[in-house]
Amino acid sequence: MRRKVIIDQDTLGPATTNLQSVALLVQSPDVEVLGICVPTGDHWRDQQVRHALRFLEIIGRTDIPVVPGAEMPLVATPAATAAWEKAHGKLVYNGAWDLARPGKWADPHHTPDLVEGNPTTHPAAETAAAFIVRQARAHPGEITLWCAAPLTDIAQALVLEPGLPELVRELHFMGGSFHPMTDSREFRHTPRREFNIRFDAEAAHAVIRASWSRVTCSPIDVSHHTRATPELFTRIARADTPLARYLDRFGQRHRPMWDEVAAATWLDESLVTRFDDYFIDVNLHHGASYGDMLSWDPGHEPGQGERRARIQKHLDDARFYEAFVALCSVQP
């Protein structure tokens, strides 16, 4: 049987680490993608939904439903975040709320034309939370929740079905930061702050504390050094498939492959050469460290509901790049 997965991803596009990771999961022959749930994150939900729909049209996979997720975090708002920044300093990156960046806007329902073409298909009628719960009940013990976005959709699904952790196989998420070996401005002064976790810290806190039977965290530490080089896309272009042509035109070059690593390492866990075993949680105190990842070695955790997780630490870079090229070159 193919491995069943629900993708929860803020599908900023075209391409980018977000949709390039979706490509790996969709292209894998032994994976059944039940649906792609899309919350607000790197951009507003409605525009990201359209990128996902158009991507699936281009690669000929409109059989996969795109399900609109949460438009806003559980608690955080743009105004509250702006007030926090006045007290504690500017965030390096703030996703949909980064209005100073080109291509960002304040209206969550503004959906300008897409450079890759506008979709002609439509999203699913139900919410992401309802979809996740319905699928989990229909396939108990079989589904992986693969997440590379703020965890709002999963938190909302837990409200609908508190027994969700017992109904799914595992939670595998890209997010968090511990001790990344980088001098990037984003992590130089705040190494525990990472966008997917901080954008909806309350959701991340609720999700991480739930009683999943297996939790794998793919943090910044394992992937920030990777790069989507022009050479990778040149190799993929030789396949001359719809996906290869899409990536040749839009593939995000010279950027870390955060989400692609999280996807590839779920497909093939042996790409990770070292895991650490931590108890983890999220800081919800509204001070300077709000939204930061917390961690403890087993036996040193405070015992206040934090959960044990496998933390990806080291990657077999060469094999990862080969896997990325191979999966993106699969003939339809």
Q: What is the pLDDT of residue 182?
A: 87
Question: What are the pLDDT digits (tens) for 127-147?
Answer: 999 999 999 999 999 999 999
Report pTM. Answer: 0.97
CATH number reported for the structural domain that contains residue 113 in this entry: 3.90.245.10
Averaged confidence pLDDT in the chain = 97
Residue 1 has a pLDDT of 85
In the numeric block, the tokens 């779920």 are attached to 266
Residue 237 vs residues 21, 72, 244, 319, 322: alpha-carbon distances, Å: 17, 37, 5, 19, 14
DSSP string of 67-88, one letter each residue: EE--SS-SS--HHHHHHHHHHH
Question: Which pLDDT belongs to residue 332?
Answer: 84
Q: Average pLDDT for residues 156-174, to the nearest whole number?
A: 98
Q: What mean pLDDT do residues 79-89 have?
A: 97
Instruction: Measure CA of the first residue to CA of the last residue in the chain; give whole Å.
Output: 20
Please give the pLDDT value at position 60: 98
Contact 178, 271 (CB under 8 A): no
pLDDT given at position 160: 98
330 is written with which tokens?
A: 């699969």
The owner of tokens 């990771």 is: 21
pLDDT at 183: 83
- Largest separation between any pair of C-alpha atoms in the chain: 54
Average pLDDT score over residue span 140-158: 98
Domain span holding position 229: 3-328
**What are the φ/ψ torsions at residue 3 (nearest 5 degrees)?**
-75, 130
pLDDT at 306: 96
* Total tally of structural domains belonging to the chain: 1
Q: What is the pLDDT of residues 58-79, one digit of tens each?
A: 999 999 999 999 999 999 999 9
Place of tokens 């070059």: 253
Which pLDDT tens digit goes with each residue over 7-60? 999 999 999 999 999 999 999 999 999 999 999 999 999 999 999 999 999 999
Lowest mean pLDDT among 101-110, 180-189, 286-295: 180-189
pLDDT band per the 50, 70, 90 thresholds, residue 252: confident
What integer pLDDT is reported at residue 152 of this predicted model? 98
Grade residue 298 by pLDDT with cuts at 50, 70 and 90: very high
pLDDT (0 to 100) of residue 316: 98
pLDDT at 181: 87
The pLDDT, as a whole number, for residue 115 is: 98
According to the model, what pLDDT value does residue 253 have?
83
